[in-house]
Structure 1
Amino acid sequence: MQTTISSKYQVVIPKPVREHLNLKPNQKLTVIEKDRMLILIPQASLEELRGIAAGAKTTDYREKKDRF
């Protein structure tokens, strides 16, 4: 898929991508530039993030000094 930058530097996200990622109007995106690529990351609300770590193990937690 391709899109074009408008004269106002706006970009349209193609409909199939918007639908697949469930993007909504006025939703914030984080923009990251890396190695000449743009990465758009949808920001999630705190409500959407609630419970994502359910079941995570809290034992065997490595301290920063133990990391490589």
Structure 2
Amino acid sequence: MQATITAKGQVTVPKPIRDRLKLKPGDRVDFVLDSGDEVRVVPVTASVRQLKGMVPKPRKPVTLEQMDDAIAKAYARRR
């Protein structure tokens, strides 16, 4: 598929690609440079503001020692 770049540097994303990526007017995309001269268009899925409140706050605070212990255990499981 091809598209033309306007004088302002804008490109219209072809409809089959918009449909496949489920893009709607106002949605945002990232342009990712791959090796060589290829560019991937990746939909931006959610902002940090949209994610706020999705992860519950811990019921009780944890100490630095407890955090270090949890990190060490997780690291040991990966080895």
TM-score range normalised by the length of the shorter chain: 0.5 to 0.7
Partner of 2:37: 36
Secondary structure of 2:20's partner? helix
Give TM-score, length-normalised by structure 2: 0.54
RMSD in angstroms over aligned alpha carbons? 2.4
Moved over 2 A (4+): none
Instruction: Tell me the percent identity.
Output: 33
Residue identity matched to 2:40: I
Q: Distance in 2 between matches of 1:33 and 1:20?
A: 20
Aligned residues: 53
Decide which structure has the larger Cα Rg and report it: 2
Map residues 17-32 of structure 1 onto 2, 5 A cutoff: 17-32=17-32
Offset of 1:14 from its aligned partner?
0.6
Q: More helix per residue: 1 or 2? A: 2
Secondary structure of 1:8's partner? coil
Q: More strand per residue: 1 or 2? A: 1
Give TM-score, length-normalised by structure 1: 0.61
Q: Distance in 2 between matches of 1:17 and 1:39?
A: 12
